[in-house]
Amino acid sequence: MVDLELWLEALPGFVLPADCFAAVRRADAAPPEAPSRCVPHQVSRLCSGIQAGGPLVVDIFQKVGSIDVGHLRAGMTAETGMKWPGSSLELRIRLAVVDVLAAAAAAAAAAASAEAEAAAWATAAAAADQEARQQWEAANQAEAVAKAVAEAPPVQVSPPPPPPPPATASPAPAIVSRIPPRIQ
C-alpha cells in the first residue's frame, strides 16, 4: 500500500480566508480528524499517511469567533455570544472547565452506587425466587398428598368399642360397732 498525502489550495484568483480550517474523514465515519489550519496564499497539507481506497470527505470550517477563557481552574465557566455566518441570530456558547480526575471519581462512585443497587435488586430477586420455589415445592407436596389420598383404598372405620357397663352400686358394708348401745 502507498501512503498518500492530501493538500488543499485556493484556485488561481481566489484566496483562502485567514480563519479557514479543514478536517479529513472517511465518508462512513462521522467525526472528522482534528482540523488543520489552511494558510492563505499557500498550499496547505491536510493529512499524510492515508491509504488509498474508500471515499474521503474534507470538511471546511471557518473561524466564527473566540472565547477568552482566562486562567484555568476546575469548575469555572466562560460564556459568550457571537453571530454565526448566514444567521441573524446570536449564538450563545458556554465553556466549562472540568477536573477530569474528579469527574472520573464521580463517575466511578456513580457506577459503584449503580452496581450496589443492581446487587440489591439481584438479592431481592434471588429472595423472591427462593420464596417462589418454596411455594412451588409446598404446592407440589400438597398436590402429592391430595393425589395419594384420592388413590388410597377406602378405609373401613370400625365403630368404637362399647363403653364398659356402668358399675352397679354395691351396698356399703355395715359398720359393726363393738360399743354397746346406750341404755336409756
Sites in the chain below the pLDDT cut of 70: 1-2, 30, 154-157, 167-184
Task: Look up residue 100 and give its amino acid.
Answer: V
Query: Of the candidates 4, 12, 17, 14, which has an alpha carbon nearest to the alpha carbon of residue 45?
Result: 4
Query: What does pTM read for this prediction?
Result: 0.42
Determine contact, residues 44/37, Cβ cutoff 8 Å: yes
Task: Determine the Cα–Cα distance for residues 101 and 109; give it in Å rounded to an integer.
Answer: 12
Q: What pLDDT, in 10s, does the model give residues 56-108?
A: 888 888 887 777 777 778 788 888 888 877 778 887 888 787 777 777 777 88
